[in-house]
Amino acid sequence: MNELELKYGCNPNQKPSRILMEDGDLPIEVLNGKPGYINFLDAFNSWQLVRELKAATGLPCAASFKHVSPAGAAVGLPLTETERRIYFVGNMPLSPLACAYVRARGADRVSSYGDWAALSDVCDEETAAVLAMEVSDGVIAPGYTAKALEILRNKRKGSYNIIKIAPDYMPAAIEHKDVFGITFEQGRNELKIGADMLGNIVTRNNNLPDSAKRDLFIALITLKYTQSNSVCYVKDGQAIGVGAGQQSRIHCTRLAGSKADRWWLRRHPKVLDLKFKDIGRPTRDTTIDIYLTDEYEDVTADGAWEALFTEKPPVLTEAEKKDWLTCLSGVSLGSDAFFPFGDNVERAHKSGVQYIAQPGGSIRDDNVISICDKYGMVMAFTGIRLFHH
């Protein structure tokens, strides 16, 4: 089959719509559901990310995509007890692949609502069980066990989108895209993210441990498939903040940093001790997100908290948040293009960033380096831009 007709394009008025191959058959099989235009955009972008991340790290990998950018990406490292609590998986059995998806979705659970999931390995029963609990549009993987397929086919009243992709599929070296009736043509971005990219360390501190190298690989590969401008914060094998599609580099850094901060604040004892009613996972995620902002007292005024909690939670003060965030450290950061000003490093420092990988090449590189040196950071110039549009 070399084409698949779709219901419509990005919007219901955009018809007709299809995906097709000019030569050969499509490298995918729809095992369930009726994926749409945006579903396929998410599926193919997210699959590239997890495939490349698996090749770079040797670990099972997962990504959680929304509107053609990752809300999160991660490798399959075990979860701590605290992570099991903040990601709401309790004592569920979790395979390495399931851990990867739980952690990928855990980067920004509010943004991952209704996500597209990508898995680097054959989907197993444990991973399917996690997907079954979450609000998700679909999944792409190189295969599914019989039990996993049974679980997923029962999701969303039998309409959950399940795509199987040929793991050995390699696209043509030249890619095309039509915009306003005009065809754009370029070579595919086949750049391999590897250790050689981190060899040009320009700061006084040049101590880059293996764990930081792994996290910088995750950041850079995630950025390769994130709408630019983009910045990614990573800690312990998972993205914890992705700032995508911003017109300003500092706004990318602030957006991703604010997400990283909320990820860390979810571990605060007051958050872990919140006494929720049976309100469902999405409402619980949104409530925690609001609890961590200065809007919380307004939203829950006049007894509104009673619909969410069994007892009124104590306010998490700004002073408590600030104090808790000082404990966040060892974070790695990647940027898809150079930092034009040192203000990006200043903001990154507030969210515990210790390691940075960015292309370099700004006329103010000396200033950016000096800010890194002020905080004892390690920064590598990759010499490579990673724009994605």
DSSP symbols for 143-212: -B-HHHHHHHHTGGGGT-EEEEE-TT----SEEEEEETTEEEEEE---PPP-GGGG--B-SS-----HHH
Quick one: tokens of 293? 């902002």
Q: Which of 32, 39, 161, 229 is catalytic?
A: 229
Q: Please, which residues bridge with residue 230 across strands?
A: 244
Catalytic-residue membership of 229: yes
Catalytic-residue membership of 45: no
Sign of CA dihedral 117, 123, 128, 129: negative
Catalytic-residue membership of 66: yes
Of 360, 357, 331, 198, the C-alpha closest to 257 is 331
Structure-token match 């590189």, residue found:
365
Look up residue 11 and give its DSSP letter. S
At position 236, the amino acid (one-letter code) is: D
Distance CA 86, CA 89 (A): 8
Catalytic-residue membership of 67: yes
Q: 259: part of which helix (H) or strand (E)?
A: helix 249-265
Quick one: tokens of 252? 């990318």
> Is the separation of the CB atoms in 139 and 117 below 8 Å?
yes
DSSP symbols for 99-122: HHHHHHHHT-TTTTTTEEEEESS-
Our CA angle for 190, 192, 193, nearest 5°, is 140
Quick one: tokens of 10? 């990005």
Q: Which of 13, 91, 157, 389 is catalytic?
A: 389
Quick one: tokens of 76? 């399959």
Cβ-based neighbour number of residue 95 at 10 Å: 18
> Is the separation of the CB atoms in 106 and 53 below 8 Å?
no
DSSP symbols for 42-56: HHHHHHHHHHHHHHH
Distance CA 243, CA 229 (A): 8
Q: Which of 32, 39, 66, 213 is catalytic?
A: 66
Distance CA 55, CA 351 (A): 29
List the catalytic residues: 66-67, 229, 389
